[in-house]
Structure 1
Amino acid sequence: MIISPITATPATLDDLEQAARADLAALGYPAPGWLAPLDGHAAGAIADVIIVGGGQSGVTLAAGLKWEGLADVRVLDSAPAGSEGPWLTFARMEELRTPKTQVGNEFNVPNLSVRRWFETRYGVAAWADLPRIPRTDWKAYLDWYAGVFDITITSETQVLDVAADGDVIAVTSLCRGTVTRTLARAVVLATGFDGAGAWRVPAFVSDSLDKSRYDHTNGPVDFDRLRGKRVGVLGHGASAFDNAIKALSAGAASVDLCFRRPRLPRTNPHRAIETPGMMTHYPDLSDTTRWQIARFFRKNDQPPPVRSFETAMALPGFRLRPATPWLDVRETQGAIHVTTPGGVLEFDHLLLATGMAVDLPARAELKSLSARIALWGERYTPPDDEADERLARLPYLDAFYGFLPKHEEDAWVGRVFAFNSASFVSQGPHSTSISGHRHAVPRLVRGVLRRLLLDQEQAILPALERYASVDLPVADDFEARLATLETEAVR
């Protein structure tokens, strides 16, 4: 579906930005600052919160935290400016999977919504006809959204470590060749789907082939190199189909999409848990129920998007191969031979849509954290027939996405929050996704505010005793007249 911006409209995006800001002001945005100064630190030396990741979650969380009176919220992102998130890099679908009505980062302010943005840019009728939000428009909307809240993203900044520094957190980062160390009261890791590990090619492929013969679909792919090539894709999810389409569109001779299941999933179980009760109170479920739900989603995957499926199936050269696991891969006489239960397939290049490996120590920002945080495998023991090594390696988070320490001396980890795929078991399979923001962002914001309030608990009473805001009107004879009235009242 090709959409062209409307050529004439009474309201431009600049007008919409001003209207959104007026709405925010009417609702009291931002709240007055309320954090007490930290002893021994100069004003401005310590950020209220550092958010690692400037994608859809990072900017929405920054907006929510600023709304609640945290003025110094800093956002760091490893990508070049304008390339935050996957939308302009390895996300290759034409439109979002999320239903267009389930976006929840507008805080119930219509002029902040993607719907109002889209209608302003393309017209009301275009939104009515739109099945789902185009990927690149979603990214453009996020950039506009960040501008409304004056969120500045420090780009090309790779976080190297997050560690304790007395009563605050030190974030060490590399920005354009310079290593810096920044202090913060709290840190939020909004690092996306690979935040608990890394995109990783299966060892039976990487151990057998030169790196030039394969790519992971969640990384850079030179599709022009695939012109005239026979391409094998392993996986059956959205990424597998989107990359197959991209390869064929770039001129690949053929694409065989292989997966081990006997058939593609037909229903999306994520839709079943997108209810206000489930999304808002998921952490209140028992460990057993949360573990079983996570196991269910591990066994019952979601189907590819309908549009991606239909597009791929209509392309010449595309072959769908269910019940075709790859048993062995090797290069023979310049070709890649893949052994399957049905025989040997021959390819020139492989695309691996094999997802993420859970590997906390592999994340640079978790260098100091990974050995100190509680894991599900340490807090919950499932029945033998429900054991899952992958899930056991994920962090056991508190109700607000905060890390919990293995040992009391590492209580500082509770000032670090994992708003990413590390929350899969603790908070639900997709609480940090677009459709989860409406319920998950307020929970994370409450958790950060709660942590910062408790950190300054001992300063509350002294500050209350010093509080001297005069509410009654002051005139030259006001105190004398008031004293007279009080004396007469006593008589």
Structure 2
Amino acid sequence: MMIAPIDAPRITLDDLKQEALADLTALGYPSAAWLSDLPRPDAAEIADAIIVGGGQSGVTIAAALKWDGLRHIRVLDSGAPGAEGPWLTFARMEELRTPKTQVGNEFNVINLSVRRWFETRYGQQAWADLSRIPRTDWKAYLDWYADVFEIAITNHCEVLDVAPEGDLIAVTTRLGGRIEKSLARTVVLATGYDGAGAWRVPALVSEALAPEKFDHTNGPVDFDALKGLRVGVLGHGASAFDNAIKALEAGAASVDLCFRRARLPRTNPHRAVETPGMMTHYPDLSETTRWDIARFFRSADQPPPVRSFETAMRLENFKLRPATPWLEVSQQADAIRVTTPEGILEFDHLLLATGMDVDLAVRPELKTIHDKVALWGERYTPKDGSADARLARFPYLDGFYGFIPKDPDETWVSRVFAFNSSSFVSHGPHSTSISGHKYAVPRLVRGVLRRLLLDREAVILPELEAYVSPDLPIPDDFETVVAEANRQSARSPETNKPTMRSGA
């Protein structure tokens, strides 16, 4: 969807940036720094927080932490500049599925909002006519947002490990071919939908085919190479439909979209939990309620976006195949043969929209910590009939997205926060998504600040006793000044004579 920018805008995006900064200043941004330097020779190099991930969550969290007085924040991202998050990589939908009015990373500052950004670029009528925010515009807005808050992102930075180093956290990275280690007081993992594991390729595919014969839809796909090929898609969600559309637009001979269900889901249950009460206080719900909600979302799932569904159904050579699970896959001389309950299907290439496996051990940044964090399967015993092995592998997070150590002596674990898909059971099905930021980011920030405060509890009283910031302009010879003032008062008794009221 192409929208033409305004030819002669009343204000530019740079003007809007200045207006947003003026609003922030009027609201007290940023708060005064309140963390004292650590008593170490390398204190200046120690970050208050390192945020792993420079996408929508990473930049919003960085902005909120800056607002609350943290000055030493680093944001690391493995992508190239401008390619943070999925928006210009494997996200292939035309528009967001989040309603345009449920975006909440602007902290109630109107000139910081995506609406004001969009109206500045395209006009008020364009926003009024808009049903959903275009994907590429959302990314452009996030880049502008990061610029407003002067958030510097270290790109091409692969995080290899997060581990303890004394009272701090060491983050090991590969940057420009060099292995480096950075120290931080806290770490936030804003690593997105696959932050709790890795994209899943079913074994019946990976064990039967050469890697060049299939792609996961949440990774790089060479769509040009699909021209003239018969493509099979497994899955029924947004990613399945978006990749099917891209394949046909690139010239694929045909696309068959197969899924196990007899019908596509029609209702999106995510909309039902996007209420202030649920999104703000979800972790206060009982373990049983949160577990059962997670099980419900696993079974109910959600439909593909309406626009993606309608676009795919209008395309020639697209075929929707419900009730078509893949039972067996094999490579034949001239085709990939897929066995289904209805018979054999033949393809030249497969696209797998099969989601994510929950497995903390496969995440490189969790190499040290993955077996030290409490899991739901270890903390909660499901009632009869509600066991779920996949949900049991999710980490059991505290009320602020912090990991909880299995061993209470491993206190460093609680200084690492998982603001990603790891929070699915503990904090709800999409608290870290766009519509959840308004409620979830403040909770995460409270957790980081709480941890920083508790870590320095022993120095609070000594710092308070040493605090000097005179409010009164009292000279050092205070007693002399007071004595002289009293003598002057004694010489002038009229000064202290009571005032007679009228009629007394």
TM-score, scaled relative to structure 2: 0.95
Other structure's SS at 1:215 match: strand
Q: How does 1:337-376 map to 2 (within 5 A)?
A: 337-376=337-376
Quick check: 2:260–2:323 contact (8 Å CA) kept in 1?
Answer: yes
Partners in 2 of 1:482 and 1:406 — Cα distance? Answer: 62
The amino acid of 2:186's aligned partner reads A
Which digits, 9 at most, give the CA deviation of each residue in 1:333-378, with x for residues without a partner? 2201100000111111100000011110000000011010000000
Quick check: 1:111–1:117 contact (8 Å CA) kept in 2?
Answer: yes
Indicate the residue corresponding to 1:86 in structure 2.
Answer: 86
C-alpha deviation, 1:267, in angstroms: 0.5
Indicate the residue corresponding to 1:206 in structure 2.
Answer: 206
C-alpha deviation, 1:176, in angstroms: 1.2
C-alpha deviation, 1:2, in angstroms: 2.3
Quick check: 1:36–1:456 contact (8 Å CA) kept in 2?
Answer: no
Indicate the residue corresponding to 1:429 in structure 2.
Answer: 429
C-alpha deviation, 1:45, in angstroms: 2.1
Indicate the residue corresponding to 2:496 in structure 1.
Answer: none
Q: How does 1:55-454 map to 2 (within 5 A)?
A: 55-454=55-454
Gaps of 5+ in 1: none
Partners in 2 of 1:323 and 1:350 — Cα distance? Answer: 18
C-alpha deviation, 1:136, in angstroms: 0.2
Which digits, 9 at most, give the CA deviation of each residue in 1:233-262, with x for residues without a partner? 000000000000000000011100000000
Quick check: 2:98–2:434 contact (8 Å CA) kept in 1?
Answer: yes
Which digits, 9 at most, give the CA deviation of each residue in 1:411-448, with x for residues without a partner? 11000000000000000000000000000000000000
Structure 1 residues 49 and 343 mapped into 2: Cα distance closer, same or farther (>3 Å)? same
Structure 1 residues 286 and 41 mapped into 2: Cα distance closer, same or farther (>3 Å)? farther
Quick check: 1:160–1:364 contact (8 Å CA) kept in 2?
Answer: yes
Partners in 1 of 2:205 and 2:487 — Cα distance? Answer: 91
The amino acid of 1:17's aligned partner reads K
Aligned residues: CA RMSD: 1.5
C-alpha deviation, 1:451, in angstroms: 0.3
Gaps of 5+ in 2: 490-504
C-alpha deviation, 1:481, in angstroms: 3.3
- Range moving further from structure 2, 31-40 or 329-338: 31-40
Other structure's SS at 1:425 match: helix
Structure 1 residues 70 and 225 mapped into 2: Cα distance closer, same or farther (>3 Å)? same
Partners in 2 of 1:461 and 1:408 — Cα distance? Answer: 26
Quick check: 2:337–2:345 contact (8 Å CA) kept in 1?
Answer: yes
Which digits, 9 at most, give the CA deviation of each residue in 1:277-320, with x for residues without a partner? 00000000010000000000000000000000000000000000
Indicate the residue corresponding to 2:495 in structure 1.
Answer: none
C-alpha deviation, 1:479, in angstroms: 5.7
Count of matched residue positions in the alignment of Structure 1 and Structure 2: 489
Indicate the residue corresponding to 2:9 in structure 1.
Answer: 9
The amino acid of 2:7's aligned partner reads T
Partners in 2 of 1:79 and 1:36 — Cα distance? Answer: 33
The amino acid of 1:135's aligned partner reads R
Quick check: 1:159–1:365 contact (8 Å CA) kept in 2?
Answer: yes
The amino acid of 1:402's aligned partner reads G
Indicate the residue corresponding to 1:32 in structure 2.
Answer: 32
Quick check: 1:257–1:320 contact (8 Å CA) kept in 2?
Answer: yes
Structure 1 residues 34 and 479 mapped into 2: Cα distance closer, same or farther (>3 Å)? farther
Partners in 1 of 2:119 and 2:477 — Cα distance? Answer: 59
Other structure's SS at 1:44 match: helix
Indicate the residue corresponding to 1:462 in structure 2.
Answer: 462
Partners in 2 of 1:112 and 1:289 — Cα distance? Answer: 36
The amino acid of 2:21's aligned partner reads R
Identical pairs, percent? 73
The amino acid of 2:139's aligned partner reads K
The amino acid of 2:422's aligned partner reads A
Partners in 2 of 1:380 and 1:143 — Cα distance? Answer: 41
Other structure's SS at 1:174 match: strand
Quick check: 1:80–1:156 contact (8 Å CA) kept in 2?
Answer: yes
Partners in 1 of 2:35 and 2:479 — Cα distance? Answer: 33
C-alpha deviation, 1:64, in angstroms: 0.3
C-alpha deviation, 1:475, in angstroms: 6.0
Other structure's SS at 1:90 match: coil
Partners in 1 of 2:273 and 2:387 — Cα distance? Answer: 23
Partners in 2 of 1:188 and 1:331 — Cα distance? Answer: 43
The amino acid of 2:387's aligned partner reads A
Structure 1 residues 337 and 168 mapped into 2: Cα distance closer, same or farther (>3 Å)? same
Structure 1 residues 488 and 239 mapped into 2: Cα distance closer, same or farther (>3 Å)? farther
Quick check: 2:37–2:44 contact (8 Å CA) kept in 1?
Answer: no
Quick check: 1:36–1:459 contact (8 Å CA) kept in 2?
Answer: no
Quick check: 1:237–1:353 contact (8 Å CA) kept in 2?
Answer: yes
